[in-house]
Amino acid sequence: MSDASSRPVVPQAGVARPGGRTAAVRGSVLSATEDALIEHGFAGIDLSSLARAAGVGKTTIYRRWGTPQCVVADLLDDMAARSVTATRTGNLDADLRANAELVVRTLTHPRQGRLFAALIAASTHDRDTKAALAEFFRRRVEEWSLPIIDAIERGEVPPNTDPIAVVRHLSAPLYYQFLTMTTPLDDLAADRAARATVAAMRAQCFAKSDAAS
């Protein structure tokens, strides 16, 4: 019904999952989890249906994951591991715009957008899912902080800039629009997010010693 190769999760080009039977089972189960989240949201996830959709034994899925929360946490872990690496062209404006455009592309992708919406919704009423989602974003933000660290090393950005805060600020207006408006995201929103972040960074709004200022 669903297989790992059909999964559009911000895939890292050319990086397949490690092979083997265990990996194949995991791939099938995570694909089925993704499908269920997209179609029905978190409430639609139960392990028996996932086992059926993934074509694996019920015992396997209960023994290996145990709860819907654990499957979703594993999906988020897999999504983070398979996501695209940051763009590092040596031009900070271009790198930030590439990040913002990736967020827009992900959230406007018919399956990806619904997947992220379902994951965010799930995390609002389950503490473990919230922690797993926060960890997913932490890893993605850390990856995309690299071009900002590059720019700090080139001396283009104030040295006490918190690169993590910069990346979060860049994503924020895009997720906010996605969740609170019916107007679809577009490249103009990505461009504005990138420009606003650069302006705030140059005005030292993301200084690490914030607390002391």
CB closer to its own copies out of 25 and 131: 131
- Among 24, 146, 200, 208, which residue sits at the site for its own copies (rule: CB under 8 A)? 200
- Among 48, 125, 154, 160, which residue sits at the site for its own copies (rule: CB under 8 A)? 125
Least Å distance between CB 34 and its own copies?
15
> Measured in Å, how far apart are the chain's first and last C-alpha atoms?
56
- Tokens 């015992």 correspond to what residue? 59
Within residues 43-102, the interface with its own copies by CB under 8 A covers 43
d(CA 81, CA 49): 25
- Among 131, 143, 158, 208, which residue sits at the site for its own copies (rule: CB under 8 A)? 131
d(CA 93, CA 157): 11
117 binds its own copies (CB under 8 A): yes
d(CA 50, CA 212): 50
Q: Does an H or E element contain 185, and which?
A: none
CB closer to its own copies out of 31 and 171: 171
202 binds its own copies (CB under 8 A): yes
CB closer to its own copies out of 4 and 80: 80
Per-residue CA distances from 128 to 30, 76, 131, 133 (Å):
17, 12, 5, 9
Residue 37's nearest CA partner among 13, 73, 11, 80 is 73
Which residues lie near its own copies (CB under 8 A)? 41, 43, 117-118, 120-125, 130-131, 133-134, 137, 165, 168-169, 171-173, 175-177, 179-182, 188, 192, 195-200, 202-203, 205-206, 210-211
